[in-house]
Chain A
């Protein structure tokens, strides 16, 4: 075993023990670094997209300079070239050359629900994709060519992603999320009906949207399991949770939780764990989360008060987060370290705590790298059990 391999295994164990709500050797330090890595290396997304090897070097720079036990993602993960082939401009790069932005493109209409509910696969393939992706409406053989090119680019992306994981592993750093899935209602929210549409449907066609979410449960499970009936406890299945913060507890309980909970339990039954990004503020939903089996979920918190969350759900769920990005951006090094100390002191006892930022790092100004370096080193040293 090489030193890097040993280091890798040590870190995997650190995350696994923590997620079992037991005390590991040290508090794990997680990276939520996304395109910030490109800015850190003084590069651009364009440079990354030119060449996968160059991309790995660019993304790897921050991991050479700053201490991390693991990463949520590594490399530029959006399927830019797949979208291009289909004629969609769902994503574009901001003027800084680094920050990715997303344009909502959700062309399902409220009157489509019956067709969706009758056979969502058929509706998606034959009706919905044509609306969403202009190049699929071109005459034959242009539409076929577009689809072929998209499939080719998707295969390339798949290979790039697995090469990226390997590259990071060779640096001794595990990727904590293996597969990505979505909660059923988030699929409707992100892809089919959009922000305003989904919100209005919940009020105007409540039964239909509920049924549509139920129908998507198996699809969500399939994304996580790939059809297997056994899963490893590590790496985890990632689910970024989008709409809940806008719903409130009553609608969350009625429209979101039932189908998502089925998904969670399906992963649990197979031996897997779920890394859930609780986007927005979740303190109204803790009693739902308390229904889950112990140690099934690792939740990374955005707006929640992590100290309160620790008391409320810390016995059931592993908590990740706590370090405010605006402090890392504007605060002094000492202020940042003092705050990191408070986090370790209050959240780490008993295990079930992962140190990381409250938000994903996207743009160059998101954190002062000196501060990020300082808190990560501090927690790694101080967070010894």
Chain B
């Protein structure tokens, strides 16, 4: 049986060497699917600690990028032992960088943290048109839609997308959070979103509040 506390702690401390060697040993012990799921959960709890430390300004954006990379390689290692058993999700989220904008570093950080927090994520990538958002929302019925952008152009794009949601009659079925360099409270009001953030960890907290 894996030492779940040690795994959680090593992920929280971003101690890559320890995380990978603990997981190698664990996978070599021929674990059951259920045991593997517990280890995945421990990794995710470690990621939640990373988020906490980011909020306390002990970690910074660079650390979050590294944490995302570490979590991805951890899950890769565990995949063969996971089987097809899906774990319970706390909610569904559709994400994308809005039309006309190609930046995705922030979105990807948010995605890896929201994923670790237990959300089912549909990431539509970059330069996502209102139509593509709408089709996906109708298909997967998320509780939350996250829109990201770096350019000030993205603000107008976000507004256009929210307006298209109203037009399509789906605005009231979802909570909308916008994120990225140009968003502020004033921008949030103008766009017609429900929340804004420039901080991925805070964004995950807001999202958790909406589904609890």
Contact surface of A with B, Cβ cutoff 8 Å: 94-96, 99, 101, 103, 195-196, 199-200, 202-204, 243, 245-248, 251, 284, 325-327, 329-331, 362-363, 365-366
Cβ of A32 to closest chain B Cβ, rounded Å: 13
> What are 11 A-B residue pairs whose CB atoms fall within 8 Å in the complex?
A95-B100, A96-B100, A96-B153, A199-B62, A202-B62, A203-B14, A248-B59, A362-B151, A362-B152, A363-B153, A366-B152
Whether the pair B151, A101 counts as a contact (CB closer than 8 A) is yes
Determine the residue in chain B with the shortest Cβ distance to A284. B57
A363 to B156, CA, bound (A): 11
Kindly identify which residue among B59, B66, B101, B186 contacts A200, using a CB–CB cutoff of 8 Å.
B66
Interface centre among B14, B16, B62, B190 (most CB of A within 10 A): B62
- B69 within 8 A of partner (CB): yes
Q: Quick one: given A325-B152, A362-B151, A365-B155, are A248 and B57 in contact (CB under 8 Å)?
A: yes
Among candidates B57, B153, B184, residue contacting A99 with C-beta atoms closer than 8 Å: B153
A247 touches B65 (CB 8 A): no
Q: Does B210 contact A (CB under 8 A)?
A: no
B65 with A94: CB separation less than 8 A: no
B132 at the interface (CB under 8 A from A): no
Closest to B190 in A: A330
Complex Cα spacing A370 to B100, Å: 27
Minimum CB–CB distance for B172 against chain A, Å: 25
Q: Are A326 and B186 in contact (CB under 8 A)?
A: yes
Q: Tell me which residues from 50 to 74 in chain B have a Cβ below 8 Å from any Cβ of chain A.
A: 57-63, 65-66, 69
- Are A248 and B62 neighbours in the complex by a CB distance under 8 Å? yes
In the bound complex, residues from chain A placing their C-beta under 8 Å from that of B62 are: 199, 202, 243, 246-248, 251
Which residues of B does A touch, CB under 8 Å?
Answer: 14, 16, 57-63, 65-66, 69, 100-102, 105, 151-153, 155-156, 182, 184, 186-187, 190
* Contact A200 B153, beta carbon cutoff 8 Å: no
A326 touches B16 (CB 8 A): no
Which residue of B57, B60, B105 contacts A247 across the interface (Cβ within 8 Å)?
Answer: B60
- Closest A residue to B65 by beta carbon equals A199
How many whole Å from B119's CB to the nearest CB in chain A?
Answer: 22
Question: Is B153 touching A199 in the complex (CB atoms < 8 A)?
Answer: no
- CA of A146 to CA of B69, assembled, Å: 38
Residues of A within 8 A of B69 (CB): 196, 200
Residues of B with C-beta under 8 A to A329: 152
Q: Please give, as numbers and ranges, the residues of chain A lying within 8 Å of B61 by CB-CB distance.
A: 245-246
Tell me the complex Cα distance, A363–B65, Å. Answer: 29
Q: Which of chain A's residues has its CB closest to B185's CB?
A: A326
Which are the 8 A-B pairs with shortest beta-carbon distances? A248-B60, A246-B61, A199-B62, A246-B62, A199-B65, A326-B184, A330-B186, A366-B152
Contacts of A251 in B (CB 8 A): 60, 62
The smallest beta-carbon distance between A284 and chain B, in angstroms, is: 7
The answer on a CB contact under 8 Å between A103 and B102 is yes
How far, in angstroms, from A265 to B211 measured CA to CA in the complex? 53
